[in-house]
Amino acid sequence: MAEKRVSAEEIFKEFKEHSISEFFRKNRQMLGYAGKVRSLTTVVHEYVTNTLDACEEAGVLPEIIVKIKSTGEERYLLKVTDNGPGIPKKFVGKALANVLSGTKFQRYMQQRGQQGIGAAGCTLFSQITTGKKIHVKSGTDKEAYECDIGISIKDNKPVVENIADLEKGSFKGLIVEAEFGGVKYENSDHGVAEYLKRTALVNPHISVRLVDPEGKEMAFPRSVSEMPQRPKQIQPHPLGLESSDLLDFAHVTESTKISSFLVDSFARVTQNKITELKRLLPGIDLSKSPREMTWDDAEKLVLAFRKIKWIGPEMDSLSLIGEKQVEAAIRNILGPEFVSVVERKPKVFRGGIPFVVEIGVAYGGSAGRVTDGAVSGNILRFANKVPLLFDGGTCGISEAVKGIQWKRYNIDDFEASPISILVSVCSVYIPYSGVGKQSVAQEEEIVEEIRLAVMDGLRSLQRYLSGIKNKNTQESKYNTIMRYVSQLSADLSELTEIKSEIIEKELKSFVDKRYSALLADEKAETAQEGSAVAEALED
């Protein structure tokens, strides 16, 4: 058989198209459904991020209840209840069971979800592991209902059944109940509780309760009762555009001239900039219809954009965790000896996509990760206020942190230090490296910003550590001197015929006095001052 020549015509008899649902059904690990513990965390992650986005968009302080019940071997029923805006009946099927649809994909603003895959992926995962549909109860301003939703995998279409209308106003929000097989609830670094804890920590305006399979309740109450400033949806910045984007926008705009199209569709394009563009591109008629724009025009425009001096993108499109909250989160999770927090100024990547980096450095206490009794440095990653628990190995955040020259900061070995680095990236578009959204692609500008922020945080840690080091040096000098005090007292006593005890007491009090200042004070500055005292003593 192997030697027979087979023709293309024969080979292509098997040619088929398949739906995105079929693709993910076969490659579920790409959605994060790999590993029993991870799979359960992934569904919780998908529902909770959707809920938070919906509540914030509706202007409601989020209250979420996550309930997980065991229903058999490696089988759990998950119920997520929120007080959000609900989903209109007309959209509920597609919103929860049509891979690649949603309200967020086209929006240019900071959101947790951005793909239109997550929730439908959960429905798919429930269906292929238990054969069941998810059950949904929704209450919007206009209607309340419940129904079952499945997915027709072959054509990626929702299947909505058993729709029952409820009295309008009888319920407000969304409840999703879904059962999953081949999953496992576990209290670990990668488990649901840890995920919710980290979510709560960087989203102090939310209230989350978890009821675990043993019926134990864990509450992460709201600690701030104001909504965070809602990030603004912005227009793309000319510097973030590629020719193909520009062309696509041009071909659907309602503007009648390229010039007005540019002013209307993109940020920072004023009449002055149009004049500049005309000067730079005498060959392109900016008064022609955008629909007539060619690739060549688009390419030339993009190149011209790069020659113009622009005001940066609008940064109110970003909603940070905030310095205070980063510090609170770190103190809460790790109870460290030392914390420093750095919030960088907003920057852009790929020319014009705004993002901002916040970091925290924690040292001592429960910082670092303990495995088999050995401590090692670890990284707490967040993207648009969502904790990233998986796929650290290829993440730009880890990349940036691991590239740090630790020795410069008095850390001999990151892999053996009680140190945690929290890194948060917020952007109107997070360039995730995979569909499972657990790692940020290694975009040069983002990696560099993280590096700078962490280095900044580490400089504070270094000052702290060299303080300790000085203090330790002082202490060991003090102890060394003290060891000689007894012997010296005895010798002096012989010479002077003064009682040894008296001499010893005097000597000790003398040494104590010299060292007391620096031993009492933990600050590096004092330790350095103390260093001079110690040197004086040594002379």
Footprint of its own copies on 219-278 (CB under 8 A):
227, 229-230, 242-244, 247-248
Stretch that binds its own copies, among 2-10, 185-193, 448-456, 514-522 (CB under 8 A): 2-10
Are residues 301 and 281 in contact, defined by beta-carbon separation less than 8 angstroms? yes
Q: Quick check: 404 and 425 in contact, CB under 8 A?
A: no
- Least distance CB 480 / its own copies (angstroms): 34
Q: How far is the CB of 438 from its own copies (least distance, A)?
A: 9
Contacting its own copies (CB under 8 A), which of 68, 87, 361, 421?
87
Instruction: Tell me how far, at minimum, the Cβ of 106 lies from its own copies, in Å.
Output: 6
Comparing CA positions, the residue from 414, 425, 193, 167 lying closest to residue 318 is 425
Tokens representing residue 351 in the block = 């020319």
As measured in angstroms, the least distance from the Cβ of 271 to its own copies is 27
Q: Select the residue interacting with its own copies from 45, 94, 197, 237 (CB under 8 A).
A: 94
Distance, in Å, from the CA atom of 381 to the CA atom of 433, rounded to the nearest integer, reads 14
Query: Which has the closest alpha carbon to 166: 89, 80, 64?
Result: 89
End-to-end CA distance of the chain: 92
- Of 25, 67, 347, 471, which one interacts with its own copies (CB under 8 A)? 25
Instruction: Using the minimum distance from each CB to its own copies, give the nearer residue, 144 or 455.
Output: 144
Contact (CB, 8 A) for 359 and 330: no
Q: Residue 113: name the closest of 123, 125, 102, 121 by CA.
A: 102
Q: Under rule CB under 8 A, which residues in 56-75 are in contact with its own copies?
A: 57-60
Stretch that binds its own copies, among 53-61, 365-373, 492-500, 530-538 (CB under 8 A): 53-61
Cα separation, 337 vs 420, whole angstroms: 12
If binding is defined by CB under 8 A, does position 35 make contact with its own copies? Answer: yes
Q: Residue 162 belongs to what H/E stretch?
A: strand 157-166
* Size of site (CB under 8 A) for its own copies: 87
Between 397 and 503, whose beta carbon lies closer to its own copies? Answer: 397
User: Counting beta carbons within 10 angstroms of the beta carbon of residue 487, is it exposed (0 to 12), middle (13 to 18) or buried (19 or more)?
Assistant: exposed
Of 82-90, 363-371, 460-468, 493-501: span binding its own copies (CB under 8 A): 82-90
- Whose Cβ is closer to its own copies: residue 16's or residue 345's? 16
> Which parts of 98-157 interact with its own copies (CB under 8 A)?
98, 100-103, 105-107, 115-116, 127-132, 140-142, 153
Q: Between 365 and 392, name the residue whose CB sits nearer to its own copies.
A: 392
Pick 115 or 410: Cβ nearer its own copies: 115
66-83 per-residue burial string, b: 16 or more CB within 10 A, e: under 16? bbbbeeeebbbbbbbbbb
Smallest separation (angstroms) from its own copies to the CB of 470: 32
Closer CB to its own copies, 100 or 348, in the complex: 100
Beta carbon nearer to its own copies, 86 or 313: 86
Toward its own copies, which CB reaches closer, 312 or 434? 434
166 touches its own copies by CB under 8 A: no
Choose, by CB under 8 A, the member of 37, 54, 66, 404 that binds its own copies. 54
Return the range that interacts with its own copies (CB under 8 A); candidates 161-169, 203-211, 389-397, 490-498: 389-397
Give residues 329-388 in contact with its own copies (rule: CB under 8 A): none
Q: Are strands 378-383 and 419-427 parallel, antiparallel or unpaired?
A: parallel
Segment 436-495, which members bind its own copies (CB under 8 A)? 439, 441-443
Instruction: Name the burial class of residue 20, with classes exposed (0-12), middle (13-18) and buried (19+) by CB atoms within 10 angstroms of its CB.
Output: middle
Among residues 127 and 260, whose Cβ is nearest to its own copies? 127
**What's the min distance (Å) between Cβ of 235 and its own copies?**
16
Cβ nearer to its own copies, comparing 235 with 486: 235
Specify whether the CB–CB gap between 93 and 152 falls below 8 A.
no
Check binding of 310 to its own copies (CB under 8 A). Answer: no
Contact between 162 and its own copies (CB under 8 A)? Answer: no
Which stretch in 79-87, 201-209, 321-329, 416-424 sits in contact with its own copies by CB under 8 A? 79-87
Q: In the range 493-522, which residues lie near its own copies by CB under 8 A?
A: none
For residues 37 and 188, the answer to whether their CB atoms sit within 8 Å is yes
State in angstroms the smallest separation of the CB of 384 from its own copies: 15
Which residue in 120, 121, 119, 112 sits closest to 52, CA to CA?
112
Task: Using CB under 8 A, pick the residue from 62, 86, 204, 364 that binds its own copies.
Answer: 86
Is the CB of 35 or the CB of 213 nearer to its own copies? Answer: 35
Amino acid at 273: K
CB neighbours of 277 closer than 8 A, spacing ≥ 6?
262, 286, 301, 304, 308
Write the interaction track for its own copies spanning residues 275-304; mark x where CB under 8 A is met and - where it is not.
--------------------xx-xx-----
Distances (CA, A) of 407 to 21, 87, 331, 401, 410: 49, 53, 25, 13, 5
What does the DSSP 8-state code read for residue 86? -
Whole-number Å distance between alpha carbons of 57 and 103:
11
Strand partners, 360: 341, 422
CA 298 from chain centre, in angstroms, equals 34
The Cα–Cα gap between 35 and 74 comes to: 12
Which of 300, 434, 473, 533 is in the footprint of its own copies by CB under 8 A?
434
Q: Which of 507, 171, 538, 199 is nearest to 383 (CA)?
A: 199
- Amino acid identity, position 327: E
